[in-house]
Structure 1
């Protein structure tokens, strides 16, 4: 009886059960389940409302807790390098999976309804760089601009790090740490409601599309998920073994609460407290590195999206019989990598960026609207792989930094003797 009680209170297990039951109820009762979607939306709103203070306070304390500007710079560069390199590998996997599995051959999308996808403002280097900076901190917070909030937090965090008066610095940090404690407690409360929210969200999705999700675009969604699995096993698995001597399956077992939450919430930012807790408790990552690497990664690391974008292009080219040259594949890899590491502040996320990349390569955009209708099944994969990529990167940087500190101490000891 005691074991049964433990299972029932285990949010991770209950969320998995809720996902299965949601799919079953959606298929059985159809669009009727859509009338209860508002319950799932309330749960998502409870998560979204805390994202801005979460990112702001976490990044400030993560930077201010570093030993000095030198160690901060070293950790920052290593984190960015890891994210960019793994994202590039992810684009290659996305291209390879789509070319080998050919999801766009021999299928018809007739009868499927396309979702309207608004075209974003023109993206240029100038507009992107300008969009990173805010002229009104409260305006940024009220508009929910996460990427600007991140930049503000980084600048203020560096300012706190450079404070000369230790008493004042500790006073400021104590305030932000206290707010962090409240945010983490709040997130823990919301996480316990995950099974309820997930049930109604999945029930609505399956009620709307029924078994059509297993036909039509099933080949594309399957190809995408094959890419996600390959990214996890090959890229993240080899990184974990290289830096931490850790088996990828051990990693997945330890991080189960993380990827169960991301499958349910489809929010990288909201998962930050969950993944920080896992990084510190399950993988012994120091607090400062965990907060910095995971908060930054939630905005700039997008391995799952890097698989999605080139796969969409190849899927469309196969649908319409468009021949692609080798140079086009090179361009796909470069453009997808750049978009994934710089599009954290673009409203609409993955769907909008799909439209951007399809238009960039001059392909028919109608298919994007159809894929958007099934996007939750894709978003579950992109968010989960993105967040697990953040965790892998943070673990690897932590081990890298650990070795650097040990080497520096050894050199200092040799010089002293």
Structure 2
């Protein structure tokens, strides 16, 4: 009998979890008490390895380039890719919002209120990238600061040449050990995915979802179209990889992202599949993926577009073309401006609504199904990270497309 691969096992865990979750609809607390802890264990295992994996991989990647200018070139390509795909995503969200009319016929509850933290300024965001205490940045899991410190460390190793080699050897060893630990954790992934999806389905049954079904359909359809149009086209043109092979290779990370709703928590899996299944070099994936897990918000931007139209329709407001263009610009820039901030999705949405004068109270209605919407948008965020690493690697001559073709 043929042994099931990891992707199949994770998919089975997801489907079985959905079925079991439906049975637990009458007792969602039981699912949360007895099943969710197994999912929390999976998340804790992944979070345990994120910092050593990202730090060591980035240091090795930055040092192995041997050229600071090349590192800068990769950085420019990565950020340009993320901004362009984010702009396309929010545009697609607005188009679907106009077609589907998700807010038509709905009214806002009288007691609807929402509190949103203030977004940091651009200057504050840029200053916060540089850690005053790298150890504290690692303790707080501040990914942008960890990335900055790792890059400086890698550049310093390159400049130090032979004297920096012992430090490089240490991080190379740490990176290899981290990859092995990721492999061990992934053996538990099917159980973790099962345990994470059961309480979500149990708490959000058909009765909760039906009133806002149009919003859910618009977001899920949007992320599917974004993946099918944008990522498929990019990996085929730049990476010479068929979309079917790309999505097959990225599937384990996509499924983990869907259930965990965390790009950072999925990062070890993303790095693993990007290198092993899609043939991206470690030097590229170790830079593009951690940066993407922090600032790439294609799925979130698409969600902003749909939700902005949803809120406008609830309040009977017709958005002009110029207002919708403002939403595209605001959501694209906000994806960078809120990078690394807790609750970034909610802050982004508040900024988008305020940019065109829409009431923030509309967010309260969406908050009830936020977890259901968070799953596809995180999944597409991670898929975008992986596609970005393929594109950047291909333009740098750091991609082996034969790896994906062999899947």
TM-score, structure 1 normalization: 0.87
The aligned residue for residue 332 of structure 1 is 327
Shift of 1:225: 1.1
- SS of 1:256 mapped into structure 2: helix
2:285 to 277, 287, 290: 290
Aligned-residue offset at 1:228 = 0.5
Counterparts in 2 of 1:160-309, with a 5 A limit? Answer: 160-164=157-161, 166=162, 168-309=163-304
Q: Is the Cα contact below 8 Å between 1:90 and 1:303 reproduced in 2? A: yes
Q: CA RMSD in A?
A: 2.6
- 2:366 aligned residue (368, 371, 374): 371
Distance 1:35 1:403, change over 3 A: closer
Given the alignment of the two structures, is residue 310 of structure 1 paired with residue 310 of structure 2, yes or no?
no
Separation (CA, whole Å) in 2 of partners of 1:59 and 1:117: 39
Q: Which residue of 2 aligns with 1:41?
A: 40
Q: Tell which structure's C-alpha radius of gyration is larger.
A: 1
Q: Is 2:21 the partner of 1:23?
A: yes
TM-aligned CA deviation for residue 17 of structure 1:
3.4
Cα distance between partner residues in 1 of 2:205 and 2:268: 34
Residue of structure 1 in register with 2:405 after alignment? none
What per-residue deviation string (whole Å, max 9, x for no partner) do you get for residues 108-146 of structure 1?
4659x97x8642234222222222222122222222222
Deviation at 1:195, TM superposition (A): 3.1
Instruction: Provide the residue aligned with 1:53 in structure 2.
Output: 52
Q: In the alignment, is the contact (CA less than 8 A) between 1:22 and 1:200 conserved in 2?
A: no
Matched, 1:126 2:123: yes
Unaligned runs of 5+ in 1: 405-417
Cα distance in 2, alignment partners of residues 240 and 65 from structure 1? 25
Does structure 2 conserve the Cα–Cα contact (< 8 Å) formed by 1:304 and 1:385? yes
Calculate the TM-score normalised by the size of structure 2: 0.89
Q: C-alpha separation between the residues in 2 aligned to 1:30 and 1:301?
A: 33
Offset of residue 160 of structure 1? 1.8
Q: Is the 8 A contact 2:46 2:265 kept in 1?
A: yes
CA distance in 1, matches of 2:96, 2:211: 18
Q: Distance in 1 between matches of 2:232 and 2:72?
A: 26
Shift of 1:10: 5.5
* Displacement after TM superposition at 1:7 (Å): 6.7
The residue that corresponds to 2:317 in the other structure is: 322
Count of residues in Structure 1 that have an aligned counterpart in Structure 2: 398
Segment drifting more, 359-368 vs 135-144: 359-368
Distance 1:53 1:8 in 2: 24
The range that moved more, 224-233 or 393-402, is: 393-402
User: Displacement, 1:184?
Assistant: 2.3
Residue 95 of structure 1 deviates from its aligned partner by: 1.0
Q: Which runs of 4+ in 1 moved over 4 A?
A: 7-10, 108-111
Aligned-partner SS, 1:322:
coil
Q: Contact 1:194 / 1:264 at 8 angstroms: preserved in 2?
A: no
In structure 2, what is the equivalent of residue 152 of structure 1? 149
> 1:326 and 1:293, CA in 2 relative to 1: closer, same or farther beyond 3 A?
same
